[in-house]
A and B are shown apart, each in its own frame.
Chain A
Amino acid sequence: AQSVTQLGSHVSVSEGALVLLRCNYSSSVPPYLFWYVQYPNQGLQLLLKYTTGATLVKGINGFEAEFKKSETSFHLTKPSAHMSDAAEYFCAVTAPDSSASKIIFGSGTRLSIRP
């Protein structure tokens, strides 16, 4: 069985500050991990994903995440926040032998950016 926990339902940072959104997973098999972003009144958009290989994954819009097996974490970071980053972010997990649609989403973290 797999699960995802996102720490903090709401995170607020100043424009230009570091963005850190936390995600911890539980999986009985090596997981595939994803971060999605959802802007108001829109669907989800894939930011980045980890399947195998390099543990530091770079995504779109300057975001990156590092898979840390020892900590069962996949935290999302961005060095400098921009106003356009305000959105809801979802961490998600699937198993390598599972279809993409059987993805388990976290409860989401709403990111606010202060001017």
Chain B
Amino acid sequence: KAGVTQTPRYLIKTRGQQVTLSCSPISGHRSVSWYQQTPGQGLQFLFEYFSETQRNKGNFPGRFSGRQFSNSRSEMNVSTLELGDSALYLCASSLANGPGDEQFFGPGTRLTVL
């Protein structure tokens, strides 16, 4: 069974631009979650989608948004990029995102904002 895939793996943007990251979950998984990983803040939860609906949201500004398609693939968008948005963005999928469910992580997209 193929794992979680994320594209692109690396991205370089400049301040003020916007970016879209893509995540394909494991086949059959309906929940997709996004995390931001930085050296200073560690791993922080962005949001979670289940059956095309955002179910949970972390404490990030509205510049960070996402969506999920009917095939469970998900995209994350960051508008008006800031230097502090430079990070590794991880996507994780699970069957239903129930308590204790294992999340399967993709390799991440490393975003650099210049």
Q: Are B97 and A100 in contact (CB under 8 A)?
A: yes
Complex alpha-carbon distance, A96 and B98, angstroms: 9
A82 within 8 A of B: no
In the complex, whether A61 has a CB less than 8 A from a CB of chain B is no
Tell whether, in the assembled complex, residue B99 and residue A44 are in contact, meaning their CB atoms are under 8 Å apart: no
CB within 8 Å: A-B pair count: 69
Is A32's beta carbon under 8 Å from chain B? yes
Contact residues of B: prevailing secondary structure: strand
A36 partner residues in chain B, CB cutoff 8 A: 105
Interface secondary structure of A, over-half rule: loop
Q: Quick one: CB contact mask for B59-78 with A, threshold 8 Å, 1 for yes? A: 00000000000000000000
Instruction: Decide if B99 touches A32 in the complex (CB within 8 Å).
Output: yes
How many B residues face the partner with a CB closer than 8 A?
24
- Whether A99 contacts B48 in the complex (CB less than 8 A), given A42-B107, A43-B108, A105-B43, comes out as yes
Interface residue count on the A side (C-beta < 8 Å): 25
Chain A interfacial positions (CB closer than 8 Å to B):
32, 36, 41-46, 49, 51, 90, 94-103, 105-108
Q: Which positions in B face A, CB cutoff 8 Å?
A: 4, 31, 33, 42-43, 45, 48, 55-56, 90, 92, 94, 97-108
A-B contacts, 15 of them at CB < 8 A, read: A43-B4, A43-B90, A43-B105, A43-B106, A44-B105, A45-B105, A46-B103, A49-B100, A51-B99, A94-B99, A100-B31, A101-B56, A103-B103, A106-B42, A108-B42
